[in-house]
């Protein structure tokens, strides 16, 4: 792979995956500044790993692998329970937007209460990856991904109810 090809592929990957990767960072970390650091670190690792990309995996799955592994060894400056995610500053214009924003905040609060692994797995599921793709990213079997996800879904739905009740 020449430098030009590498750069072109990187820019393409960056454009395709930045929203998903940043959402994954938000589900894993506790503040916006840390998300920027982790995102930067993930993209650095994507750039660094590009020459070894052989095309065996789907490109987006490959990027998620790097994102998840980078997140796993990323050192957080604070404990996860100390601070809840700084949500992006959206301009809320309508009642519907406000409601949606509250639901999103509740979802983030609920995800923040899950364990590290579960948070990453549920983010991949919320991003729309199927069981096989999640198994490819995490290295566990498809069956076990199914078991884990059904547990996480239950936990998340219960947490969402608790978080919504707390908000009321």
Partner 1 sequence: MMRFEQLQELWQSELQPEPPAMAVESRGMAAALRRFRRRQYVINGIKLMVIAGLAWFLLSRLGLSMLMVLGLGLFLAGLLTAVATDWRIQSAIARLDFARPSAEFLDATLERLRDANAPFQRAGWMAIAMIAAGANLIFAGPWANQTLGSSIAFHTAVTVLPFAAFGFGLKVRAKRYAMEYKPLVERLAAMKAALEERAP
Closest CA to 90 of 82, 81, 99: 99
Q: In this complex, which beta carbon is closest to partner 1, that of residue 14 or of residue 131?
A: 14
Phi/psi at 103 (nearest 5 deg)? -65, -40
* Residues 40-99 contacting partner 1, CB under 8 A: 40, 43-45, 47-49, 52-53, 57, 62, 65-66, 68-70, 72-73, 75, 88-90
CB under 8 Å to 116, separation ≥6 — which residues? 28, 72
Q: Please, how many CA atoms are within 13 Å of residue 70, restricted to the half-sphere of its CB?
A: 25
Among 156, 159, 162, 168, binds partner 1 (CB under 8 A): 156
Q: In this complex, which beta carbon is closest to partner 1, that of residue 39 or of residue 112?
A: 39
* Residues 107-146 contacting partner 1, CB under 8 A: 107, 115-118, 125-128, 136-140, 143-144
Q: In this complex, which beta carbon is closest to partner 1, that of residue 47 or of residue 131?
A: 47
Query: Tokens 């929203």 map to which residue?
Result: 19
């Amino acid at each position: 792979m020449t430098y030009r090809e590498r750069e072109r592929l990187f820019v393409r990957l960056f454009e395709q995956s930045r929203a998903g990767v940043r959402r994954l960072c938000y589900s894993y970390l506790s503040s916006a500044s840390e998300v920027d650091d982790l995102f930067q670190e993930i993209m650095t690792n994507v750039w660094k790993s590009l020459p070894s990309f052989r095309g065996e995996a789907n490109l987006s799955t490959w990027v998620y692998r790097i994102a998840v592994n980078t997140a796993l060894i990323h050192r957080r400056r604070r404990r996860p329970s100390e601070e809840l995610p700084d949500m992006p500053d959206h301009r809320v214009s309508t009642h519907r937007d406000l409601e949606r924003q509250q639901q999103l905040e509740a979802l983030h609060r609920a995800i923040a209460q899950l364990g590290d692994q579960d948070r990453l797995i549920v983010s991949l599921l919320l991003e729309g990856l199927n069981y096989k793709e999640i198994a490819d990213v995490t290295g566990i079997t498809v069956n076990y991904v199914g078991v884990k996800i059904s547990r996480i879904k239950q936990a998340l739905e219960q947490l969402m109810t608790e978080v919504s009740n707390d908000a009321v």
